[in-house]
Structure 1
Amino acid sequence: MTQLVDSPPRASFRRAVIVLTLLAFGLRMIDIEARGIWWDESLSLFRARQSIPYILSNRIDIGETLTVDQHPPLYFLLLHGVIRLMGERDLALRFPSVLFATALVPLLYAMGSRLRNRRVGLLAALWGAISPFYLWYAQEARMYTMVTALGLAATYLLWRTFQGPNRRLSGLGFGITAAAALATHYFAVLILAVQAMMAVFLWRQHRAELSTSSTSSPTERPTLRRWMAEHPRVLRGGLPAAVILLSATGFVGNHIARLIRSHAAGRVYVPLHDMLIDALNAFSLGLTVSFRNMWPLELIFLALFGLGLWWAWRHPHREERHRQSIRAARGAAMMLLPGYFLVPILAFWLYSHYAPVYMGSRYIIMSSPAFYLGMSLGLDALWSRRRWVAGLLIAVLVAGMGYSTARYFTHEHYEAKEDHRSSALYVMANERPGDVILLTAPESIFAFRHYYRGQLDI
């Protein structure tokens, strides 16, 4: 197994991860109620207010108009419980997003450590902690940080199912978290597809390692039937849990296609290169800067990601003794890094030829952990040869992310997406008996009512 040179003790890394996790939580909580909720968030509030059967129906009734939400119910069920404990203030609505965005920090550390070493894990945790992209969606009452965290947790547990202790428990955990991700956002199926391909390589690597072990006999070499027999909890726990949750959310391919077609009105085809630029801009410096203005710095992020891919290919994590094991280890790494990053983007692009579906980088936020892991692997490669170069690049990238974060908190353009709170306060301050409130956009009624405490009918 690859060893670290002059590696600090494990406890030092754990303390650093705790500090980064607290930093992430603190950043995500700054001015969390400064911006009022906008239309998308008001839909989350509307669904969370309803009864559990209504939430499971995926309905959104706006006046006499009956619609079907394109998102499955798990996030709204969670928010349903939160607002009953904490009330409906903006902090309560956004708190689940904060928690899942914060959970990405230790998850990135765990996945990076599993992929290569603790230094890679710590670097990935650093990017997750200060990511302007994660900050943006941590302060939004939507399911995007939740599905990203669940997808990464499922990937980590899948890896542990083949390469770690407590494999049966890890397999059970994978089944549950993968199903939960799908019950949070339908597009998590794209990550599940990557995980399925990853599992093939992890299985082949596991089999090759045992086949070349000095303690294994031909009769002990693993087969798929033997592995399934040795992991009954995966079959009796994880897989049934996945089937039940998927059935409950109506998760079938035709259902997804129908939803996409029904919501495609008004959307336009987005070329592949625009999607890739969106991903690079969002995952690196976030949504408060444009690629056109910051492309030299963003290309450094991309170069480090590319270096990480090369490093993963040339230097597999384990010192394999069998050619099949080396190939399998490389395949698993390629599925985790470029596969996890690119497959969702390519899927959106291909399907957009049939029905436009892409609506911005939030649709591909699930791919972001692979980008941070690849970057960290590239920095690890530099660190082992030119520490001063790696240290300088880390400082530059941290400064770039800090600049974007400062713009998020201070630039007037990002004060609010839709300022329903100010509208409600203005009406409350100036209303008179006999006045009437008319909302020309019916979909805005939920957000306006959230802030309006006046005496007039809406």
Structure 2
Amino acid sequence: MSTFWAAQPASEIWRVGLTLTQDKHPPLYYLLLHGWTALFGPGDFAVRSLGALIGALAVLPVYGIGRQLGGRRAGVMAALLLALNPFLVWYSQEARMFMPATTFGLCGVLGIGYWVSGIGHPRLNTQYLIPDTYWPLLLAIAGFTAALYTYLFSAFLLPVAGAWLALAWWLNRRKPEAPRRFWTGAAALAVVGLLFLPLARSAWLVSGGEATPGRAFAGMGPTLWRLLQVYAVGWPRWSGRTMTWVAIIAGGLGVFGLAGGWVLGIRYWWRQCPIPDTQYPIPNIQYPGLHLALWLLLPILAGGLLLTRDRTVFAETRYFIFLVPALCLTWGAGLAWLWQWRRLAGGIGLALMLGAALVALPANWSPQNRREAWREAAAFVQTHAGPNDAVVIQADYVHLAFERYFHGPQPVFYPFTDRLTDPAQVDAPLEGLAGYDAVWLVQSHHQELDPGNLVAGWFGARYPLITETYPAGIAIHGFAQGYRPSALPADVPRLDAAFDNLRLLGCTYQPDALSPRDDLFHPPSGWVHVTAYWTSPGQPPAADIFPLVRLVDAAGQVWGQSLERGNDAVHIWPTSRWLPNEILRADYDVNLNPITPRGTYRLVIEAPGVAGQAVCGEVGVVSNE
């Protein structure tokens, strides 16, 4: 998706990004990627490196914010936790706008943080106070505007910035400089709002036409618990009990960080006392715990209210990615207070947080957590599809990712753009594909648009399954529309093997060499796909026959067998119903034993209860890794 838009002219990217009709994201990231790929090329590494670079830069504003809120040690710890956070590392590697928007938004928050720190008590930590200049507001305007024009959910940071300004004014309302700095900061946020207004209008109109309303704050408890777990350690496939403990420790440390800021605020700000020599870190911003609490709570409250307009506000954990830095800051503040109180306690807390992140981080690259494997999915379809086959993509917008890697001659269709609720919606588009021998249905991110799985159900009710496979984030199903061909295809080797009243005319298979293990398409086993062509020269058998395929070694030991499926050709069109000399295409997936040794094996076709046997070919098992 990103590479498609980045390849468009800059003027087209801007036009589409402002209207949000053809793509639901603003234009800035695509414009940056447009320039980046012009310099470094459109390859996968170059495309992903832009987000990784901008994501890595997020440690700088987080350190600055942490230093303002809790001192230098809090800033360092927050930056370290952010740099190793598995959730943020994951999205830094994606060729999408979520992590760049987070970095831009953090720059905006840093500018506001510097500005409000200048309203505070002049005797507090004066060496870190910002001079009366306007560069923090320029940073805030640039950061927030860039974030908004990169990712729409960045708008949730604007109420946070406004609340920080209002809080700083209220706490220092008796000081002569407070009103001026408040209104100057408010004017800066108003500038951001005016710059955002065209995009906000488009977003409101588009969401109103497509969103499904829900209930305010529905299911917020489980949602927040899930977000806390994922934001802390990502998706490490740990047990439920382990994830519960992770959430308890992360939540407890966050509460401690918030409470520590409250204690310092009460002790030093409310009493307006001179700062004594103290062992505790002194923040530049009054009530740092309250500022962090506002950062965490205001977006959640606003999101809970917006559920009345769109029930999917919290559907994806990435939507509120900008909350993760706030959590890292609360954890950093909590660790800083612990460290100053008891170094041993702070060291244990830091070791627990860093240890959890480092142990969870490798799960980002585990087979279970792979990103959508579009390269592999396209190669699979390209390898298995025949010359007169077609490809159907659902949801429609993912066709861009598929076609980036697909180079086959088969046509690619993506006819469904609206939500499907009625089977009649799919009839006309899919009936138009009747002239193809097979259709390969490639699905990803389609559940919301097709909750009843009507497209796959339409094919499954009419045609036998060729094969099915599930590379990461994708489902591929092949359906044999021409499963009763008029003649044996010319490229199929002829066998003419007799099985009582049935005759095996020929067969093909692929691959001819494979590993017994497969962690991508159908873990844990490798599959061999066999296509056989059957006929009944005379009277069809009285009882239905269900042939199968086995993988057999030289000693006759079986190391794999075809999967039994109720929606294959011989179940949809049983042998007892065959017409004389009719040809039927039957497809089989031979599932290997994952510990099959290296060697050469025969693909033996049999029909249980019927005399006859045929060897379709030989397969080499090349590795057991």
Same fold (TM over 0.5): yes
Cα 1:330/1:289, change in 2 over 3 Å: farther
Distance in 1, Cα, partners of 2:306 & 2:182: 36
Which moves more between the two structures, 351-360 or 146-155? 351-360
Q: For each residue in 1:382-440, what CA deviation from the matched residue of structure 2 results, as whole angstroms up to 9, or x when unmatched?
A: 1112211211121122121112112222x321133x322112223445666x4444224
Distance in 2, Cα, partners of 1:278 & 1:318: 35
Residue 438 of structure 1 corresponds to: 391
Matches within 5 A, 1:159-308: 159-162=113-116, 163=118, 164-165=130-131, 167-205=133-171, 211=175, 221-222=176-177, 224-225=179-180, 242=192, 245-247=195-197, 249-252=198-201, 255-265=202-212, 271-289=219-237, 292-293=240-241, 294-308=243-257
Residue 335 of structure 2 corresponds to: 379
Alpha-carbon deviation of 1:301? 1.0
Q: For each residue in 1:128-168, what CA deviation from the matched residue of structure 2 results, as whole angstroms up to 9, or x when unmatched?
A: 11100101111112111122111211111112123213631
Relative to the length of structure 2, the TM-score reads 0.56
Q: For each residue in 1:194-221, what CA deviation from the matched residue of structure 2 results, as whole angstroms up to 9, or x when unmatched?
A: 100101222345665xx4xxxxxxxxx3
For the 8 Å contact 2:172–2:178, the answer to whether it is kept is no
Distance in 2, Cα, partners of 1:155 & 1:199: 11
Unaligned runs of 5+ in 2: 119-129, 276-282, 413-625
For the 8 Å contact 1:420–1:447, the answer to whether it is kept is yes
Relative to the length of structure 1, the TM-score reads 0.75
Distance in 2, Cα, partners of 1:445 & 1:311: 50
Over the residues paired in the alignment, what is the CA RMSD in angstroms?
3.3
Cα 1:202/1:71, change in 2 over 3 Å: same
Alpha-carbon deviation of 1:97? 1.7
Distance in 2, Cα, partners of 1:131 & 1:125: 10
Distance in 2, Cα, partners of 1:430 & 1:292: 39
Distance in 2, Cα, partners of 1:60 & 1:168: 29
Alpha-carbon deviation of 1:443? 2.9
2:358 counterpart of 1:398: no
Cα 1:142/1:266, change in 2 over 3 Å: farther
Q: For each residue in 1:342-387, what CA deviation from the matched residue of structure 2 results, as whole angstroms up to 9, or x when unmatched?
A: 2212221222134312222111111111111111111111111221
Cα 1:240/1:54, change in 2 over 3 Å: farther
SS at match of 1:384: helix
Distance in 1, Cα, partners of 2:181 & 2:110: 23
Which moves more between the two structures, 67-76 or 119-128? 67-76
Cα 1:243/1:310, change in 2 over 3 Å: closer
SS at match of 2:134: helix
SS at match of 1:251: helix
SS at match of 2:265: coil
Unaligned runs of 5+ in 1: 1-41, 212-220
For the 8 Å contact 2:67–2:73, the answer to whether it is kept is yes
Residue 341 of structure 1 corresponds to: 296
Distance in 2, Cα, partners of 1:412 & 1:203: 51
> Which residue, out of 262, 287, 294, partners 1:313?
262
Alpha-carbon deviation of 1:95? 2.0
Cα 1:150/1:129, change in 2 over 3 Å: same
Cα 1:119/1:223, change in 2 over 3 Å: closer
| Larger proportion of strand | 2
> Which residue, out of 407, 413, 422, partners 1:453?
407
Instruction: Name the aligned partner's letter for residue 245 of structure 2.
Output: P
For the 8 Å contact 2:214–2:307, the answer to whether it is kept is no
Alpha-carbon deviation of 1:310? 0.9
Q: For each residue in 1:103-138, what CA deviation from the matched residue of structure 2 results, as whole angstroms up to 9, or x when unmatched?
A: 111221111111121110110011011100101111
Residue 45 of structure 2 corresponds to: 91
Distance in 2, Cα, partners of 1:109 & 1:199: 20
Cα 1:132/1:325, change in 2 over 3 Å: farther
For the 8 Å contact 1:73–1:184, the answer to whether it is kept is yes
Which moves more between the two structures, 67-76 or 127-136? 67-76
Instruction: Name the aligned partner's letter for residue 245 of structure 1.
Output: L
For the 8 Å contact 1:198–1:335, the answer to whether it is kept is no
SS at match of 1:140: coil
Distance in 1, Cα, partners of 2:4 & 2:411: 19
Distance in 2, Cα, partners of 1:323 & 1:134: 39
Distance in 1, Cα, partners of 2:266 & 2:76: 16
Q: Which has the higher contact order (CA 8 A, sep 6+)?
A: 1
2:13 counterpart of 1:55: yes
Residue 319 of structure 2 corresponds to: 363
For the 8 Å contact 1:144–1:362, the answer to whether it is kept is yes
Alpha-carbon deviation of 1:244? 6.0
Which moves more between the two structures, 420-429 or 195-204? 420-429
Larger Rg: 2
For the 8 Å contact 1:183–1:245, the answer to whether it is kept is no
Residue 424 of structure 1 corresponds to: 378
Distance in 1, Cα, partners of 2:333 & 2:155: 26
For the 8 Å contact 2:157–2:295, the answer to whether it is kept is yes
Alpha-carbon deviation of 1:280? 0.7
Residue 152 of structure 1 corresponds to: 106
Distance in 2, Cα, partners of 1:318 & 1:122: 24
Which moves more between the two structures, 279-288 or 132-141? 279-288
Distance in 2, Cα, partners of 1:260 & 1:407: 34
Alpha-carbon deviation of 1:265? 4.6
Distance in 2, Cα, partners of 1:147 & 1:257: 20
Distance in 2, Cα, partners of 1:390 & 1:130: 18
For the 8 Å contact 1:291–1:298, the answer to whether it is kept is no
SS at match of 1:439: strand
Distance in 1, Cα, partners of 2:168 & 2:213: 42
Instruction: Name the aligned partner's letter for residue 209 of structure 2.
Output: S
Distance in 2, Cα, partners of 1:187 & 1:291: 31
